[in-house]
Structure 1
Amino acid sequence: MTSGRFAPDKGLTRRMVTTMFLLGLLYVVFVAVLIALGVKAVTVLVIAVGFLLLQYFLSDKIALFAMNAKVVEPAQAPELHGLVDRLSAMADMPKPRVAIADSDVPNAFATGRNQKNSVVCVTTGLLRRLTPEELEGVLAHEMSHVAHRDVAVMTIASFLGLVAGLITRFGLQFGLVGGRDRRGNNAVPVFLVVVLVSAVVYAVSFLLTRALSRYRELSADRAGALLTGRPSALASALTKVSGDMAQIPTRDLRQAEPFNAFFLVPAFAQGFSLTSLFATHPPLERRLEQLGQISAQLSRGV
């Protein structure tokens, strides 16, 4: 799954394959149930496929636009480009485009369907807070997402949840099943079954993709730390960013929340607990524990 010199992760590969298989199996069952119930879901599927293609091919442009980020040239951000150049050479991978988002939320993300179309973005808030060593650790983490093709996999994995969510929403608002059957009887019970099945499928696909998302963050931490050989720098950055997140205004955090799956650290508005229950990222303590283990292994020469 990994190209270049980023540490391969067989666990991530197994989880990606397993998740995609389970989602595919769930999709087949879902479509079969819809057909059996006579759902007019063709329009919804067309819309969902359209969204999937747009997200897959334009994910980098959409993310940069939504975050109000600008691609910068080496002359505009020489130190940032220098770190990315060094990491690209170390990882033996094409250099991604470099972008900066004008936001005080200290964070970073990587997007793009493949290495040739990838972009690594950092916020001005992150640049102000981290040392060069900490920033290098963050960039290595984000570039490992590109090497592992995480964006492409997560985009495809989210397809079934998108279909089920759209069917649930459209079903509730407009009705996807005719109001009466061939005998003229009320078909509302069938409609309710469709909505219920769609909601269950959405919930299962949601949990599967979130579980995969949490593991891919641990994998990116591991690969980035091994590439730089300084897990303590990434640990310091994670601790600093997580602590400073509490000082960010709630309004700014809520604006950033839609990108939590791509961020280094999720931007949770204060008091919002359900998001942490179905988190896109593992707990900070788990990430620091793993980085501590890597540091111990490197010190022993393992």
Structure 2
Amino acid sequence: MKWTRDFGLTMRMLLTSFLLLIVYLIFLGVLYALGFPFEFLLVVAAGMAFLQYFFSDKLVLWSTGTRIVAEDEYPELHRMIEGLAVRAGLPKPQVGVMPSPVPNAFATGRSPSHAVVAVTDSIMRMLTREELEAVLAHEMAHVKNRDMLTLTMASFLSMLAFLIMRNWFFMSLFGGGNRDNNMGALILVYVVSIVVWLVSTLLTRALSRYREFAADRGSAELTDNPRALISALKKISGRMDYIPAEKKQEVEGANAFFIIPALSGNTLMELFSTHPSLEKRVAALEDLAAGAP
């Protein structure tokens, strides 16, 4: 299989990454110019990024109740994932099943050799074989594109800014030195941290949405059947309207990983969406189905 690139999408991802880099350099420059002792928080943020990168898969599996399943338990699911892994030139990931009435799927893991592709038990009952394969191919595309690594790196200094925001009052109490000067500098750092956190969060979410488009394209190329993914996305999205809000709230913490987020309707996540709209995804897949580059 030839893994092609969407040039326009790639350029948008590169531009977003470049803007993130500029924001982070400005943020670090302001901290340095003010003489702010941010080394400890930098170490803490690095530690958080390390834990997120190396242990996020285990945390996601634990928090969602996903169980790694053997081939004799779900032989058809294993065969589909193994076939897609061969087509994508990847090692076969571990296979997980999540008990939930919310039809969904996700991939996690720090690298192709440490990946997990999981589905909910309800999605296997709802989709046809072709639709389920298209959904699994979307998740395999995430693995091939190393999206976990990309988004962890993109969110690193956003975590640092968030830590400064949360610990600003503590730092103001123990700043030492000239109290007035320190307080003025701390207030400026706090304001800059808010701006950096907001801008970097919006840019990271934009990057996440671009990664979803890329995974949709990868699914279409792995299966040579973009209409199967269109059908699957419409079914999953339509089913969400009938899922009780409390059931969607139970899994909202994993929405960034899901193929379609399970929004309960009373969360700010809709303002900072990690996924493009269904309409835009379907339009992009329709273009692929029509033979557009």
Q: TM-score range by the shorter chain?
A: over 0.9
Q: Residue 213 of structure 2 corresponds to which residue in structure 1?
A: 218
For each residue in 1:1-29, what CA deviation from the matched residue of structure 2 results, as whole angstroms up to 9, or x when unmatched? xxx74433444443443333332332222
What CA distance in whole angstroms lies between the structure 2 residues aligned with 1:292 and 1:23? 31
Distance 1:21 1:289, change over 3 A: closer
Q: Residue 150 of structure 1 corresponds to which residue in structure 2?
A: 147
Q: Residue 244 of structure 1 corresponds to which residue in structure 2?
A: 239
Q: Residue 290 of structure 2 corresponds to which residue in structure 1?
A: 296
User: In the TM superposition, what are the counterparts of 1:57-72 in structure 2 within 5 Å?
Assistant: 57-72=54-69
Give 2:171's match in structure 1, choosing from 164, 168, 175. 175
What CA distance in whole angstroms lies between the structure 2 residues aligned with 1:100 and 1:12? 31
What TM-score comes out, normalization by structure 2 length?
0.93
Task: Note the C-alpha offset of 1:169.
Answer: 0.6
Task: Note the C-alpha offset of 1:68.
Answer: 1.2
For each residue in 1:252-293, what CA deviation from the matched residue of structure 2 results, as whole angstroms up to 9, or x when unmatched? 212222222211001111244x42232111111111111222
SS of the residue 2:290 aligns to: helix
For each residue in 1:151-178, what CA deviation from the matched residue of structure 2 results, as whole angstroms up to 9, or x when unmatched? 1100110101111011101114x12575
What CA distance in whole angstroms lies between the structure 2 residues aligned with 1:18 and 1:49? 24
Give 1:44's match in structure 2, choosing from 41, 46, 55. 41
Asked if structure 2 preserves the Cα contact closer than 8 Å seen for 1:178 and 1:187, the reply is no
Asked if structure 1 preserves the Cα contact closer than 8 Å seen for 2:172 and 2:182, the reply is no
What CA distance in whole angstroms lies between the structure 1 residues aligned with 2:49 and 2:175? 30
What CA distance in whole angstroms lies between the structure 2 residues aligned with 1:63 and 1:294? 32
Distance 1:88 1:153, change over 3 A: same
Alignment partner of 1:232 is 2:214: no
Q: Residue 108 of structure 1 corresponds to which residue in structure 2?
A: 105
Comparing 116-125 with 56-65, greater Cα deviation is found at 56-65
For each residue in 1:70-109, what CA deviation from the matched residue of structure 2 results, as whole angstroms up to 9, or x when unmatched? 1111111101001111212222221111111111111111
User: In the TM superposition, what are the counterparts of 1:257-296 in structure 2 within 5 Å?
Assistant: 257-272=252-267, 274-296=268-290
What CA distance in whole angstroms lies between the structure 2 residues aligned with 1:262 and 1:106? 13
What CA distance in whole angstroms lies between the structure 1 residues aligned with 2:110 and 2:2? 19
Q: Which amino acid in 2 is paired with 1:278? A: F
Distance 1:8 1:94, change over 3 A: farther
Task: Note the C-alpha offset of 1:37.
Answer: 2.4
Asked if structure 2 preserves the Cα contact closer than 8 Å seen for 1:161 and 1:205, the reply is yes
Q: Which amino acid in 2 is paired with 1:189? A: G
Q: Residue 119 of structure 2 corresponds to which residue in structure 1?
A: 122
After the TM superposition, list the runs of 4 or more consecutive aligned residues in structure 1 that deviate by more than 4 angstroms. Answer: 176-181
Q: Which amino acid in 2 is paired with 1:297? A: G
Q: Which amino acid in 1 is paired with 2:276? A: P
What CA distance in whole angstroms lies between the structure 2 residues aligned with 1:215 and 1:62? 24
What CA distance in whole angstroms lies between the structure 2 residues aligned with 1:77 and 1:255? 25
Asked if structure 1 preserves the Cα contact closer than 8 Å seen for 2:227 and 2:289, the reply is yes
Structure 2: gaps of 5 or more residues: none
For each residue in 1:106-155, what CA deviation from the matched residue of structure 2 results, as whole angstroms up to 9, or x when unmatched? 11111112111111011112112111111000000110011111111001
Distance 1:271 1:50, change over 3 A: closer
What TM-score comes out, normalization by structure 1 length?
0.90
Percent identity over the alignment is 47
Distance 1:279 1:216, change over 3 A: same
Asked if structure 2 preserves the Cα contact closer than 8 Å seen for 1:180 and 1:186, the reply is no
Structure 1: gaps of 5 or more residues: none
Asked if structure 2 preserves the Cα contact closer than 8 Å seen for 1:108 and 1:142, the reply is yes
SS of the residue 1:100 aligns to: strand
What CA distance in whole angstroms lies between the structure 2 residues aligned with 1:86 and 1:185? 65
SS of the residue 1:175 aligns to: helix
Asked if structure 1 preserves the Cα contact closer than 8 Å seen for 2:102 and 2:240, the reply is yes
Asked if structure 1 preserves the Cα contact closer than 8 Å seen for 2:17 and 2:207, the reply is no
- How many pairs does the alignment contain? 293
Asked if structure 2 preserves the Cα contact closer than 8 Å seen for 1:109 and 1:121, the reply is yes
What CA distance in whole angstroms lies between the structure 1 residues aligned with 2:250 and 2:39? 33
